Amino acid sequence: MKTICNLCLLFFVTISFSQQRLDSDGWTVFESKNTSKIIYISSTSGDDTTGKVYAPNTNEIGNDPFLPNGNIKPFKTIDQATKQFESGEAVWVLFKRGDVFKGELTLPHRNGESKDRPMLYGSYGVKKEMPLFEIAVSNKTVIRNRKDYKYVAIVGLSFDVPGRNPDDPKFEGFKNEAPSAFSLLCTTADCEISSLLIEGCVFRFFRGNSIQAQKDGVVNEVTLRRNVLTDMYSSGGHSQGLFTGLVNNFMLEENIFDHNGWYKQSYTGYNDREEGQATIFNHNTYFQNPTNVIFRNNSFYRPSSIGTKWTANDGPASGLNIEVSNNLFHDCEVGISLGGNKTEAPYRFKDVVVQGNVFNSGGLSRQTDRTLAWNMDIEDWDNGVFRENYIVHQNSDEIDNGIGIKIVGENRNLTIENNILYGLKKTQYLSIRNYDFMSTIIKGNDFSTVDTRSKHIDFGDKFPNGNIKFEDNKYLGQTPNIRVDSKTETLEEWSNISTEDVSKSIEQPDYKDPTRSLERYIKEELNLNSLDEFYLELRKQNIFNWRKAYTTQAINSWIKEGFEKNSLLHVTDYEKNKRETFLKYNYGDGTFEIISNVSDKVTCIEVVSLGGVVVKTIKNDVKFNTISDLSSGLYFFRFKKDTSQVLSVERYLKK
């Protein structure tokens, strides 16, 4: 007989990236000592006959190549400027801020010299406006490769296709052919895409974007940070905000994805793409057979179908070492699908952490005209954790097919713990179908329903005795509605079937403000009147205007604070136990320091989540330490003299 694992493995994804230093505002720092040539390009003041190539720190440039203090001589066109250097050089190509470059444009395929001395496409000048590339509809791809594409950074540039924007006077109609912003592909062993950074860029109204390896090609160490990718669609094929295949060591961090894969709601049905209608095949992001991937602090709004879709179609562990933490999913027909397109099971996804994410208002826009709101799809995981996520507020009466967490397929060493599911109409909070479990535990979750049409748990078949364990879950909001093999069970019957102790399962937690949502945030914190205003403001985010109030960290923290449980700290009362202040500095980024004259009293610090779970214990060097490995949100620091004596309990908001 298969046996349950009572101590499931807790882990975090650890991936090695060669990341540049960041400045105090969180942007990558580039130092002129790491370049050999600097080339300036201006559409307004450049001249291809007089343009010059500069060495760093020349008199015309001064100390800061991004703000040259002399009378520099820029080139006018990309083509002429890039004739001045070869692939493999550490060159900076800087476009004048506020200038507009039009037509059929391509950033040339050039490699940098090394990780520390990359090829940089960036900007210069005193204006706080990004260089804008208005790409022709007839253009093929702006950023592409022939073979290798290594040691390249593309920072602070804006790319748009006004001819594909129906609200733009330059709109050329809905055409089948459309350009991609970036399309990077390696198919042979002598091709490698590596050490690539795309940061602080804006991409609008393209067909889509892709970075992928096929066959023997290699994609390794790619980072996309703080980009805005919106309004991708196609009238003649599939369209994704970002598609990747066979990538390794890939970081997606603090990006904004909105309204990708569609222009208008499906009105003819049958996945018709005419005029950019939404289809079930288009998504904000689509990752195929990934290895060593981190999604962190991104926001996914209004995709054609899925916020982020993951497939692993080459058998066991063909999707490996994946972290999806503290992202925001709003108005997605499906939030995260981590298990679709099965070909060779079981255990296709190995070592997965999905933690601290917020799912809000699923299915609101009904992009494909379906009436579904599925938030989390888990299938064929081997050693996976879905922990401390917030699936909240599906209020639409039009939705009649809601799912909070869906578990299907063959899973082992799976932990579903300390999640909060709240306010979901017509929803199966936990749906389990076509399953085979080994060593699975579901514990400490709050399933809080709002109407009688929702179910706390729905097993599609008989309960798999011995292979799955339920522990300390709460079934709140109404009379517990639990179905097993099409039969509704009372709480007592459920306890007999599952052996779960349900004596405290209907005690309502004392949430601080559980109606918090993105809709409330934009009104109360941003002083905006509607979601439409919010989406317009999102499109103004850029490297010169990165407002923290519009970031995932700020929005998620605010929503999570509403679900703070005053009753689950297990230290009687927070204010009562805060006898003296121990925290000296609260940096917000995960580092902290405690007051030196009390440090000798403290033998350990327990870091407690909102769910009342000790997620980290710090025993060594408590004077200065870090919780940078934890997702953003509100924590409590429990300062202890020994295993039983609590000296103080203090809040820590990790941004």
User: Do residues 423 and 391 touch, judged by C-beta distance below 8 A?
Assistant: no
* Nearest C-alpha neighbor of 556 from the set 337, 335, 392: 392
Q: What is the dihedral of CA 504, 506, 512, 516, to 10 degrees?
A: 140
Query: Using 50, 70 and 90 to split pLDDT, how confident is the model at 215?
Result: confident
pLDDT in tens, 447-504: 998 788 899 999 988 898 778 999 999 999 877 899 999 999 999 999 999 999 998 8
* Cα–Cα distance for residue pair 337/310, rounded to 1 Å: 6
Please report whether residue 655 resides in a domain. Answer: yes
Query: Using 50, 70 and 90 to split pLDDT, how confident is the model at 421?
Result: very high
CA 323 to the chain's CA centroid: 9
Please report whether residue 295 resides in a domain. Answer: no
DSSP string of 73-140, one letter each residue: --BS-HHHHGGG--TTS-EEEEEETT-EEEES--B-----SSSSS-EEEEEESS-SS--EEEE-TT--
Please report whether residue 549 resides in a domain. Answer: no
DSSP string of 282-336, one letter each residue: -EEEEEES-EEEEEES-EEES-SSEEEEEE--SSTTSEEEEEEES-EEES-SEEE
Opening angle at CA 8, ends 403 and 469, nearest 5 = 55
* Nearest C-alpha neighbor of 39 from the set 136, 98, 110: 110
pLDDT over 60 at 403, yes or no: yes
Please report whether residue 54 resides in a domain. Answer: yes
pLDDT in tens, 314-353: 999 999 999 999 999 999 999 999 998 877 778 999 999 9
* Nearest C-alpha neighbor of 380 from the set 431, 420, 344, 355: 344
pLDDT over 50 at 511, yes or no: yes
* Six-digit token string for 211: 């970075």
pLDDT given at position 12: 42
Radius of gyration of the chain (CA): 26
CA 238 to the chain's CA centroid: 22
pLDDT given at position 589: 60
Q: How many domains are contained in the chain?
A: 2
Which residues are registered as beta bridge partners of 468? 440
pLDDT in tens, 347-372: 999 999 999 999 999 999 999 999 99
More confident residue, 580 or 79: 79
Pick the last residue of a domain from 225, 241, 257: 225
> Using CB atoms within 10 A of its CB, is residue 190 exposed (0-12), middle (13-18) or buried (19+)?
exposed
pLDDT over 70 at 3, yes or no: no
pLDDT given at position 7: 33
pLDDT given at position 81: 96
> Using CB atoms within 10 A of its CB, is residue 176 exposed (0-12), middle (13-18) or buried (19+)?
exposed
Other Cβ atoms closer than 10 A to 644: 6
* Nearest C-alpha neighbor of 145 from the set 196, 208, 201: 196
Q: pTM of the entire structure?
A: 0.86
pLDDT given at position 342: 74
pLDDT in tens, 527-578: 999 999 999 999 999 999 999 999 999 999 999 999 987 543 433 333 444 4
Pick the last residue of a domain from 225, 241, 271: 225
Please report whether residue 161 resides in a domain. Answer: yes
* Nearest C-alpha neighbor of 374 from the set 288, 308, 445, 420: 308
pLDDT over 70 at 579, yes or no: no
Query: Which residue stretches of 539-586 are H helix?
Result: 552-561, 574-577
pLDDT in tens, 239-266: 999 999 999 999 999 999 999 999 999 9
More confident residue, 62 or 617: 62
Please report whether residue 171 resides in a domain. Answer: yes
Which residues are registered as beta bridge partners of 294? 251, 323
pLDDT given at position 651: 74
Query: Using 50, 70 and 90 to split pLDDT, how confident is the model at 650?
Result: confident
Pick the last residue of a domain from 225, 252, 281: 225
Query: Using 50, 70 and 90 to split pLDDT, how confident is the model at 622?
Result: low
The domain that holds 643 is classified in CATH as 2.60.40
pLDDT in tens, 271-330: 999 999 999 999 999 999 999 999 999 999 999 999 999 999 999 999 999 999 999 999
* Six-digit token string for 393: 């507020």
User: Do residues 535 and 258 touch, judged by C-beta distance below 8 A?
Assistant: yes
Domain that holds residue 599: 569-655
* Cα–Cα distance for residue pair 524/139, rounded to 1 Å: 43
Please report whether residue 53 resides in a domain. Answer: yes
* Nearest C-alpha neighbor of 122 from the set 34, 9, 186: 34
pLDDT given at position 204: 98
* Cα–Cα distance for residue pair 384/434, rounded to 1 Å: 18
pLDDT given at position 588: 55
Percentage of the residues of the chain whose pLDDT score is greater than 70:
89
Mean residue pLDDT of the chain comes to 89
User: Do residues 269 and 226 touch, judged by C-beta distance below 8 A?
Assistant: no
Please report whether residue 55 resides in a domain. Answer: yes
Averaged over 217-227, what is the pLDDT?
Answer: 97
Preceding amide of 118 cis, omega within 30: no
User: Do residues 296 and 633 touch, judged by C-beta distance below 8 A?
Assistant: no
User: Do residues 447 and 473 touch, judged by C-beta distance below 8 A?
Assistant: yes
pLDDT given at position 624: 52
Averaged over 69-90, what is the pLDDT?
Answer: 95
pLDDT given at position 573: 38
Listed range (148-157, 193-202, 413-422, 477-486) with the worst mean pLDDT: 477-486
